[in-house]
Chains A and B, each alone.
Chain A
Amino acid sequence: MATVQEISDETSFASTVSALPSSTLAVIYFHAPWAAPCKQMGTVLSALASTYSTDAPVSFLSVNAEELPDVSEQYDVTAVPYIVLQKDNKTLETISGSDAAKVRAAVEKYAGPASGDASKAGIPPPQTVTKQAPPQAGENDGPSRDLSGYAPSPTDPKTAPEYSSGEPTNKEELFKRLGELVKAAPVMLFMKGTPSAPQCGFSRQTVGILREKGVRYGFFNILADDEVRQGLKEFADWPTFPQLWVGGELVGGLDIVREEFENDPEFLKEYSVSGQKAQAA
């Protein structure tokens, strides 16, 4: 009975994939431990894998997207869970999100149906993910929901500052904390998700622009900390995310950041990788 193989580093990924015969379908599953829909998809995949015999022409590989950033970039992974089906190093299909039925259909399409009696196969019926996945409430939302599924793993980059402990803090303490938080780095981005896995189109675009300009910045995933998320809206008197802060001052959201760069190509130059190299010289 086939199982899902966890790939722990870049070299083993490369060697595992190249070792596969060209007729074998590789099902590569990109995940992040802090994203709840990924736990769901992980279970689905193990169950799906178990319905194939060990010598079936299909191989299930699990990749922690944040631990293997180069592989993630190679496959252009921007959100998890993300599944790539490839044969002979050619990508056949990609599935973004957590639609179990879609994944099963795609695997069957390329690798043939699972061996054994399909009706007795152990694949659990596709479960709707909507209730379990922490929903992304809007940029400016109403009631807060349980976002603990979005908490960061220890492997998240250290630029992410500490998250609220979960105990309610009084307003003054919160604002004091926020005051420090916005100065945690000379350039701070408060976004939905992380730079390697943004959870919102506007956050993703902002990360893209900063990367393009080579700007060094600290980030904070507001989906993982509801206290900061709501508190910062009041602290900044700004209802939406992403929020870019420079030198402890709010610059604005995506549209303002874009405009600043359009009007001034030197914007944030002193915080960019090239700018700092010049200073060190």
Chain B
Amino acid sequence: MAQSMTPMEDAMRAKITEALKPTTLDIYNDSHLHSHHKAMQGVTSKETHFRAIITSEAFKGKMQPARHRMVYSLLKDEMAQEGGIHALQLRTRTPEEEEKQKQKEAQE
């Protein structure tokens, strides 16, 4: 079997799916937008900056910082390693919140 070109993203998807059983999970790789930054000089990984949109019941009753912490703790190793995840933007909603936002957008 050929090796995956996106091991980091695969790991993210696998861990988040298993732990949060999300109804929506969109992962965007924004690394190319930051590859010219000084902080990224010498870094060969193409998987450094991510944006993840996650909808899950598991977020119910939790404030945003708590929700983000849940995701951070799942990806603790990937974020701690050299050349691992450098930046992670998150959108964490419950199914109800996602629905409410969709309606709001439909009205506008």
- Docked-complex contact A136 and B38, CB < 8 angstroms: yes
- Docked-complex contact B64 and A256, CB < 8 angstroms: yes
For B91, the chain A residues whose CB sits under 8 A away are: 255, 259
> Of A138, A240, A251, which contacts B39 at CB under 8 A?
A138
Q: Is A237 an interface residue when CB atoms closer than 8 A count as contact?
A: yes
In the complex, number of A-B residue pairs with CB atoms less than 8 Å apart: 56
- Docked-complex contact A136 and B89, CB < 8 angstroms: no
Q: Mark B32-43, 1 if CB is under 8 A from A, else 0.
A: 001001110110
Chain A interface mostly helix, strand, loop or mixed?
Answer: loop
> Of B39, B79, B88, B90, which contacts A135 at CB under 8 A?
B39
User: Would you give the shortest CB distance from B96 to chain A, in whole angstroms?
Assistant: 14
For A260, the chain B residues whose CB sits under 8 A away are: 64
- Docked-complex contact A240 and B88, CB < 8 angstroms: yes
Which residue of B has the minimal Cβ distance to A202?
Answer: B87
Query: Given A138-B86, A139-B86, is A259 in contact with B41 using a C-beta cutoff of 8 Å?
Result: no
User: Would you give the shortest CB distance from A74 to chain B, in whole angstroms?
Assistant: 25
> How many residues of chain A are within 8 Å of chain B by beta carbon?
26
> How many residues of chain B are within 8 Å of chain A by beta carbon?
24
Q: How distant is the Cα of A256 from the Cα of B41 in the complex, in angstroms?
A: 28
Instruction: For chain A, residues 12 to 66, give those with C-beta under 8 angstroms from any C-beta of chain B.
Output: none
Which residue of A has the minimal Cβ distance to B65?
Answer: A252
Q: Can you name 16 A-B residue pairings with CB atoms under 8 Å?
A: A97-B38, A137-B39, A138-B48, A138-B86, A200-B39, A202-B87, A238-B65, A239-B79, A240-B88, A252-B65, A252-B68, A253-B68, A255-B89, A255-B90, A255-B91, A256-B68
User: When A and B form their complex, which 4 residue pairs have the shortest distance between CB atoms, in order from nearest?
Assistant: A138-B86, A136-B39, A256-B64, A252-B65
Interface residues of A (CB under 8 A from B): 97, 130, 133, 135-140, 142, 200-202, 237-240, 250-256, 259-260
